[in-house]
Structure 1
Amino acid sequence: MATQNKTTETEVSVADFLANVDDEQKRADSFRLVGLMSEWSGFEAKMWGPTIIGFGKYTYQYASGHGGTAPMIGFSPRKPAFSLYVYSPTDKSRPLLDELGKYKISKACIYVKKLADVNIDVLKKMCLESIAYLHEHHECACREK
């Protein structure tokens, strides 16, 4: 039986959530990311679960039967580092990692301490490539744009 996705879009205000980010630099970087990702995606920021800020959405389905809806791109201003949900493993995205700047990566996201550590132009390319990948491989809101 398929399980329910815990991270879903909410009605919580992004501005209210960010106003409670303790670290002043992280809060300023967060508001900048909201502006940039909104511009790049064409979608306004929405809260997903209690801590993720997402832009647009797509539907996925795994062979196991598990599926759900997730933001096309997004981030979370966590205490140790930003979690950036902007990466799809494509032939165009992989080389961009070499140009991104100072980061760590896991299967699902890229971790950066502050925006000054990364090349914003490269981050934009990664976001656009991820949106293009989702458009090609999933049902997503990007088809409406």
Structure 2
Amino acid sequence: MTIAETPGLSAPMRSALAEAGFTTLADLDGQSRTALLHLHGVGKVGLTRLQEAMEQEGLALDGGHASWTATDRGEAPLAAGRSAEAKTAPSGDSAREWIAQLPWPRRVEQGLRLLEIFEDVTGAPPRMWGPSIVGFGEAHYQYATGREGDTMRVGFSPRKGAITLYGLQSYGSHEDLVDALGTTKLGKGCIYVNQLEDVDETALRRLVAAAWAG
């Protein structure tokens, strides 16, 4: 969902977020509440409404930027700037069943195809993170404030407005692979795809592999 489509936000708040470079709710995932409140036009009431809308999409605000280490493939170097799904915890729900029950037939088809691609490339089983994100692997993050936790390493979410790809920009520099994907939109830590057919599958596989390898 875009910020412009989010109900209950004032015009000054929408403008402030747009000027700060945020256009969708996913762009705000893992962003600092305190930092957002410092933006002129952003107030506590609006921020509460924003958080409520984000929670419906399995997203959340948090404080600061995180460093992470991969926990399922041995040790990895710390990397700053990870846009973590700080309050998105894994559940025991079936990713395949969740995709199959989506109310948008085209997204069901695309979601199942992405499931095959990510499983094939990573070799890891899918897990639901929060109510609407399919994740693979696990990484540990730590904020400058000392707060820490775990998040997925890579993942995706076939939402109504767009398919969101997670973790593919966060582990090193893969600008050439991102450019090779095709028609996409870049957010803060996420890649948005309108239709899976817009993306070059070979490039997507290479990007997932590069992100997975760290």
Q: C-alpha distance in 1, partners of 2:203/2:190?
A: 15
Q: Relative to structure 1, is the Cα distance of residues 35 and 10 closer, same or farther in structure 2, using a 3 angstrom cutoff?
A: same
Shift of 1:10: 0.2
Residue identity opposite 1:80 in structure 2: G
Q: C-alpha distance in 1, partners of 2:203/2:139?
A: 23
Q: TM-score scaled by structure 1?
A: 0.83
- Comparing both chains, which one has the higher relative contact order based on Cα–Cα distances under 8 Å and sequence gaps of 6 or more? 1
**What does the per-residue CA deviation read over 1:5-63, in whole Å, with 9 as the maximum and x for residues that have no partner?**
42011011112211221221111010011111011111111100000000111111122
Identity of aligned residues (%): 35
Q: Structure 2 unaligned runs (5+)?
A: 1-61, 64-85
1:88 to 161, 170, 185: 170
Structure 1 runs of 4+ aligned residues shifted over 2 Å read 86-91
**How many residue pairs were aligned?**
130
Q: Structure 1 unaligned runs (5+)?
A: 134-145
Q: Which structure's CA Rg is the greater one?
A: 2
Q: TM-score scaled by structure 2?
A: 0.57
Matches within 5 A, 1:26-37: 26-37=107-118
Matches within 5 A, 1:57-96: 57-85=138-166, 86-88=168-170, 90-91=172-173, 93-96=174-177
Q: C-alpha distance in 2, partners of 1:63/1:123?
A: 32
**SS in structure 2 of the partner of residue 75 of structure 1:** strand
1:21 to 80, 97, 102: 102
Matches within 5 A, 1:55-134: 55-85=136-166, 86-88=168-170, 90-91=172-173, 93-133=174-214
For residue 6 of structure 1, what is the aligned residue in structure 2? 87
